[in-house]
Amino acid sequence: MDSQVLVALALSLVGGLSTSLGALFVILNQAPNLKMLGLLQGFAAGLMLSISFLDLAHNAMNSIGFLKGNLWFFAGVIFFAIIANFIPEPTIAPSSDARNKKNNGDEKDLMKRHRRQVLFSGVITAIGISLHNFPEGMAVFLGSIKGLRVGLNLALAIALHNIPEGVAVALPVYFATESKWQAFKLATLSGFAEPLGVVIVAYLFPSSISTEILEGLLGSVGGVMAFLTLHEMLPLAFDYAGQKQAVKAVFLGMAFMSASLYFLEISLPGEMSL
């Protein structure tokens, strides 16, 4: 296997396995701190927005022109907007309402049905997260072709984004099955769609791909990430952490990513930073 593909696989595994950290939040704590989850979502949203607008879209416009760069960017936005209509929304639904049914005579039957519904929602969430982890794996691969700096920054932003996704999968499964292993396993498996995306795109796109198409594809990835951030991450951050706190976390994430871009630029060998 090509060394570029191996590097991309390693980076995507970091992002994919971070869903396991989200699962650990659930199984090691009786009740997850949703405010902390919201702050983490806001921070990750700042990372993603910084990558999307200040790195990927910016570089695409500089390399292939303002018009082409924008066309590629909004092609990514439209593509993922269409895909999002067919993907169930990953949500974290508090299960406290189940406790309100204790006065009913058929409490056990109601609880069984409730657990089945919650388990089904957890499985659907895992499928949805797996589906949108594919383009994240593709993003890491395309970024790694562009340079190790881009690949590392994408992997970092995606890894932080995937932690709350692991919570979104593990929480309903843990509630429904009362099995820590099942919750951890399903959350981890949903993250493996990311390295699978690397393998798929590695055989669809040759390494000799032209610079213009590569920059355009990366611009499209920026559009996908921008849509994902504004459509999924920010609303959850606002819900769980509150608007004021979430906005602060977003700008903290953007500042962190800017510092990361600078640090990697000056620390990586010249032939690797591109």
Question: What's the pLDDT score for residue 98?
Answer: 43
pLDDT at 271 over 50: no
Whether the CB-CB separation of 250 and 104 falls below 8 Å is answered with no
Whether the CB-CB separation of 147 and 4 falls below 8 Å is answered with no
Angle formed by the axes of helices 34-49 and 243-267, to 10°? Answer: 50
Question: What's the pLDDT score for residue 213?
Answer: 83
At CB < 8 A and 24+ separation, what contacts does 105-112 make? none
At 106, is the pLDDT very low, low, confident or very high (cuts 50, 70, 90)?
low
Question: What's the pLDDT score for residue 35?
Answer: 78
Tokens for 54? 């200040």
CA distance 241 to 59: 33
Q: What is the CA radius of gyration of the chain?
A: 20
At 111, is the pLDDT very low, low, confident or very high (cuts 50, 70, 90)?
low
CA distance 259 to 75: 29
pLDDT at 69 over 90: yes
Whether the CB-CB separation of 47 and 251 falls below 8 Å is answered with no
* Percent of the chain clearing pLDDT 90 (strictly above): 10
Kindly list the distances between the CA atom of residue 51 and the CA atoms of 205, 223, 253, in Å, as whole numbers in the listed order: 22, 10, 10
Q: Which residue did the predictor score with more confidence, 106 or 120?
A: 120
Q: Which of 246, 138, 135, 118 is nearest to 182 (CA)?
A: 118
pLDDT at 150 over 90: no
Q: Which residue did the predictor score with more confidence, 124 or 269?
A: 124
The alpha carbon torsion through 61, 63, 64, 70 (nearest 10 deg) reads -10
End-to-end C-alpha distance for the chain, whole angstroms: 22
Whether the CB-CB separation of 169 and 122 falls below 8 Å is answered with yes
Read off the DSSP letter of residue 100.
G
At 274, is the pLDDT very low, low, confident or very high (cuts 50, 70, 90)?
very low
CA distance 167 to 218: 28
Whether the CB-CB separation of 174 and 180 falls below 8 Å is answered with yes
The pLDDT tens digits of the residues spanning 4-53 come to 778 778 888 887 888 888 888 888 876 545 677 678 778 878 877 887 89
Q: Which residue did the predictor score with more confidence, 152 or 134?
A: 152
Kindly list the distances between the CA atom of residue 215 and the CA atoms of 55, 70, 147, 201, in Å, as whole numbers in the listed order: 11, 11, 12, 15
* Percent of the chain clearing pLDDT 70 (strictly above): 72
CA distance 172 to 44: 22
Question: What's the pLDDT score for residue 269?
Answer: 41
Please, what is the average pLDDT of the chain? 75
The pLDDT tens digits of the residues spanning 224-250 come to 888 878 887 788 788 878 999 999 999
- Position 97: which residue type? D
pLDDT at 85 over 90: no
Q: Which residue did the predictor score with more confidence, 87 or 71?
A: 71
Q: Which residue did the predictor score with more confidence, 168 or 248?
A: 248
Per-residue pLDDT averaged across 155-173, rounded? 77
Question: What's the pLDDT score for residue 206?
Answer: 58
The pLDDT tens digits of the residues spanning 172-203 come to 788 778 788 888 998 888 888 888 878 877 77
Read off the DSSP letter of residue 178.
-
CA distance 220 to 42: 22
